[in-house]
Amino acid sequence: MPLIRETDYGTPLRPGEATVRLTIDGQPVAVPPGTSVMAAAMMLGTQIPKLCATDMLEPFGSCRLCLVEIEGRRGTPASCTTPVEPGMVVHTRNERLARLRRGVMELYISDHPLDCLTCSANGDCELQDMAGAVGLREVRYGEDGANHVKPDSPLALPLDQSNPYFTYDASKCIVCNRCVRACEDVQGTFALTIEGRGFDSRVSPGGTDFFGSECVSCGACVQACPTATLTENTVIAMGQPEHSVVTTCAYCGVGCSFKAEMQGSTVVRMVPYKGGQANEGHSCVKGRFAWGYATHRDRIRKPMIRARITDPWREVSWQEAIDHTAREFRRIQEQHGRDAVGGITSSRCTNEETYLVQKLVRAGFGNNNVDTCARVCHSPTGYGLKATLGTSAGTQDFSSVEQADVVLVIGANPTDGHPVFASRLKQRLRQGAQLIVADPRRIDLVRSPHIQAAHHLPLRPGSNVALINAMAHVVVTEGLVDEAYVRERCDLDDFESWARFIAQERNAPEAVEALTGVPAAEVRAAARLYATGGRAAIYYGLGVTEHSQGSTMVMGMANLAMATGNIGREGTGVNPLRGQNNVQGSCDMGSFPHELPGYRHVSDDATRHSFEALWGVELSGAPGLRIPNMLDEAVEGRFRALYIQGEDIAQSDPDTQHVTAGLAAMECVVVQDIFLNETAKYAHVLLPGSSFLEKDGTFTNAERRISRVRKVMPPLGGLADWEVTIALSRALGYEMNYTHPSEIMDEIAALTPSFAGVSYAKLDALGSLQWPCNDDAPTGTPMMHVDRFVRGKGKFMITEFIPTEERTGPRFPLILTTGRILSQYNVGAQTRRTENSRWHEEDVLEIHPFDAEARGIAEGDLVSVESRSGDIALRAMISDRMQPGVVYTTFHHAKTGANVITTDHSDWATNCPEYKVTAVQVRRTNRPSDWQARFFLEDTALTRIERPADAAE
């Protein structure tokens, strides 16, 4: 496949009906109002020369290369800034225009290094292309002017190579402003500016180098640059790519589409795909640049086995590893019963791979002991939204935020966790939408360039339900309920019961102020804004779900949205921001012990029989074990073997010491992963996994969008993940006959109503699909609950606030809450093996100055963080982003052991762990914790690999 060249219309295409008719170079064309002459010409296939224009940015009109003639008008206007008009007659080519364009281009070239043959952008340079397009053959002004700086001149500007992913060469800057505008308009960071005047004008990252600037390395500036001024270091080192494949990013739940641009089977760069319906050509530092982990030297490339976890690993063939695993699982089930084994799926794997693992457990193991990492982050979303609205997923697509008038962000930090969505949100906020942020920390969205939240509600961790009830109390008691909506769309008996409950004085903002820590007046003002400010949308994250009342809080947000009529329209809805690339998909595929694919309970006979008919085996109707139950049973000696695909529970799950005790008690732990992770320290079989670049399949993002993942290089371990599961199933005696993941999707579609219309052919034709996709919605469903709720009538649920059992006191007076940072991802297995670690080399503890001073803690001090579960040591970062009494850390580095100190408290409905509320004490220390000291010893003792003396590294 050659390089995919996407059409650049020069200016953004305008939506609407093509009602404006005009003539360009004698050809008639009809376009929507607001379309530029440049874009209209491109629709006819006529490319007008340009340098400062690109369709990812609004027109600027500085380069003067896109001049045209319009009959009846004087002069030669710029086609990028000239909107079409009815009856307009445009000429884009004649001798006069050619002469003018050559003159403009001659001026550009006179001030540009003429090293095209050795330039990294040779073959991919718009300046070079446009010089050819206008027929420039000579430059009359010569190269001797003081302003013409040759690369080897003593006056040459130094390269800025501070950023690990791209280089800035100021000598090649044509001051087109595209990078500056991309940083402002697309990303919203405002990190770049133009410094100097005249010939001294250059792009500048704020008077410092790129690494030390406000730049977030999203790559928008690199993508916008028409020359070699900003160039990926991989292109500089390797040269231009030769072909490309469109695939989907394997980081967060936004699900960005990228062009993997290749030389053979080697990735040269990842370029955001403009046709990607989730990201529309934008990206973040992780998806754009942090893909090098896929070929990192730490990759596991051969299967390995060992008898005991204290033994060194021994490399074996795939056949030996699979046969050994099957023998062990059969032996354990024969000795200890059918329920003594289970499996764990991963939200980083494809839908097809996840589907096969739960099928292996149910049809091959003969039980329902399957669980997923999605349960430890967003299972309350599924429970809460299904109870109130009727479906276990968010209501809108991402573009809906562009129609929102009020946005409530609660328990989420989009600029760090979901940066591409955050950029879209910031665009809407700069257009005038109002923002409410409910978060214990002062996250970037509270105040950043050209953005300030109307209200920041710095609630105490654990008080979410009290806060949402207080907002609803204002809506009900001040007559702000959308009565017509509720009467038409919701169950009135349920609403009246809820309204009586929520109107009680104990739910008033004044009554809960002591619990939440948020002034009652602020709560009232925020509630009024949400209810009366126009179209209002809620976006939330793990700060909502990872609580003992996570499910209650999700229902509380749905109650508030229904009461104000803010579901079923553009710009509204209740929208979870999923943390990992396929959290939604792993839930959809039946990864929970009580649900088959499509969120149908295993006890439902009709559902179970439909699977039995296709799978050819009798299935158990009894719910299986969740991960915490598996570990409990393992410690008690009743659960003996576990197959884990792509998940690292020893680092990601709460109460690490309990997790590792459970793993250590098992007889056969099988880990299938791309790296030797923390869980693999307790494994007996290690099977090489495949990265997203090595597999075919689909991911489902936070907006229910199913997108294709396409293989761009062969699996380094020899087999894709889905092939490994099939081999293991066959060795266990249960045949799975698939030759390609498309066949697995066909089976998913046959058994799952919401996926009934999904196929690879349709995905390839349409780019992506949002479920439900079936006969009623053959091209998918961007927005849910438009005319009626999926469950029929919306159901208001009573949301009683019940404080968490995790309490502060004299021994543990502070509350620890956890989260993520932009440059790292989840447990860091991928991002820590990239240059992203230059921005975040270790997890630190953010602590308010008051709490630090009371403990004699200075910036950078090593501090002990102790909870009822254990203790760890971190460097302190003193920050007024925190509120007094609350401390914060990330969990990206295994050596930190953040989950050593989190507790086993969990959501009442789903067992989702309460990561966000841990009572701790913080003290200065001069040594790592006992756990961390043991970690470094075990890291060596439990990960040794024995290889033959002649084996290559």
Q: pLDDT by residue (tens digit) across 836-878? A: 999 999 999 999 999 999 999 999 999 999 999 999 999 999 9
Percent of the chain with pLDDT over 90: 86
Most confident range, picked from 527-536, 582-591, 923-932: 527-536
Once rounded to an integer, what is the mean pLDDT over residues 620-646? Answer: 95
Looking at the fold, whether 414 and 541 belong to one and the same domain comes out as: yes
Residue 914 sits in a domain of what CATH number? 2.40.40.20
Looking at the fold, whether 412 and 498 belong to one and the same domain comes out as: yes
For residue 701, is it within any domain? no
**Last-in-domain residue among 537, 555, 576:** 576
**Last-in-domain residue among 576, 595, 622:** 576
Looking at the fold, whether 368 and 386 belong to one and the same domain comes out as: no
- Is it the case that residue 953 has pLDDT exceeding 80? no
Q: Tell me the pLDDT of the chain averaged across its residues.
A: 93
Q: Which of 405, 421, 413, 417 is nearest to 444 (CA)?
A: 413
Looking at the fold, whether 324 and 287 belong to one and the same domain comes out as: no
Looking at the fold, whether 716 and 630 belong to one and the same domain comes out as: yes
Q: How many CA atoms lie within 13 A of 43 on its CB side?
A: 22
User: Range of 847's domain?
Assistant: 814-941
Residue 195 sits in a domain of what CATH number? 3.30.70.20
For residue 900, is it within any domain? yes
- What's residue 142's pLDDT? 65
**Last-in-domain residue among 542, 576, 610:** 576
Once rounded to an integer, what is the mean pLDDT over residues 518-543? Answer: 97
Separation CA 870–CA 933 (nearest Å): 13
Residue 365 sits in a domain of what CATH number? 3.40.50.740
Residue 107 sits in a domain of what CATH number? 3.10.20.740
- What's residue 378's pLDDT? 85
Looking at the fold, whether 366 and 484 belong to one and the same domain comes out as: no
For residue 525, is it within any domain? yes
Q: Which of 891, 911, 908, 910 is nearest to 900 (CA)?
A: 891
List % helix, strand, coil for the chain (3-state, nearest 5). 35, 15, 50
Looking at the fold, whether 338 and 467 belong to one and the same domain comes out as: no
For residue 129, is it within any domain? yes
Other CB atoms closer than 10 Å to residue 242's CB: what's the count? 13
Looking at the fold, whether 358 and 386 belong to one and the same domain comes out as: no
Residue 200, C-beta contacts closer than 8 angstroms, at least 6 positions apart: none
User: How does pLDDT run across 748-784, given as a tens digit for each residue?
Assistant: 999 999 999 999 999 999 999 999 999 999 999 999 9
Percent of the chain with pLDDT over 70: 97
Looking at the fold, whether 658 and 627 belong to one and the same domain comes out as: yes
Separation CA 797–CA 552 (nearest Å): 9
- What's residue 871's pLDDT? 93
Looking at the fold, whether 571 and 423 belong to one and the same domain comes out as: yes
* Residue 247 banded pLDDT, cuts 50, 70, 90: very high
| Distance from chain centroid for Cα 785 | 25
Looking at the fold, whether 202 and 308 belong to one and the same domain comes out as: no
Once rounded to an integer, what is the mean pLDDT over residues 585-604? Answer: 94
For residue 29, is it within any domain? yes
Domain tally, the chain: 5
Other CB atoms closer than 10 Å to residue 146's CB: what's the count? 7
Looking at the fold, whether 626 and 557 belong to one and the same domain comes out as: no
Helices (H), 111-207: 126-133, 178-181
Once rounded to an integer, what is the mean pLDDT over residues 512-517? Answer: 96
Phi-psi region of 34 (alpha: psi -120 to 50; beta: other; left: phi over 0): left
- Is it the case that residue 940 has pLDDT exceeding 80? no
* Residue 929 banded pLDDT, cuts 50, 70, 90: confident
- The encoded tokens of residue 106 equal 């001659």
For residue 763, is it within any domain? no
- What's residue 671's pLDDT? 97
For residue 791, is it within any domain? no
Residue 424 sits in a domain of what CATH number? 3.40.228.10
User: How does pLDDT run across 808-818, given as a tens digit for each residue?
Assistant: 999 999 999 99
For residue 797, is it within any domain? no
Please indicate whether residue 705 or residue 378 has the higher confidence score (pLDDT): 705
- Is it the case that residue 147 has pLDDT exceeding 80? no
- What's residue 952's pLDDT? 45
Lowest-pLDDT choice from 106-120, 268-282, 352-366: 106-120
User: How does pLDDT run across 390-420, given as a tens digit for each residue?
Assistant: 998 999 999 999 999 999 999 999 999 999 9
Lowest-pLDDT choice from 69-73, 404-408, 885-889, 947-951: 947-951
* Residue 140 banded pLDDT, cuts 50, 70, 90: confident
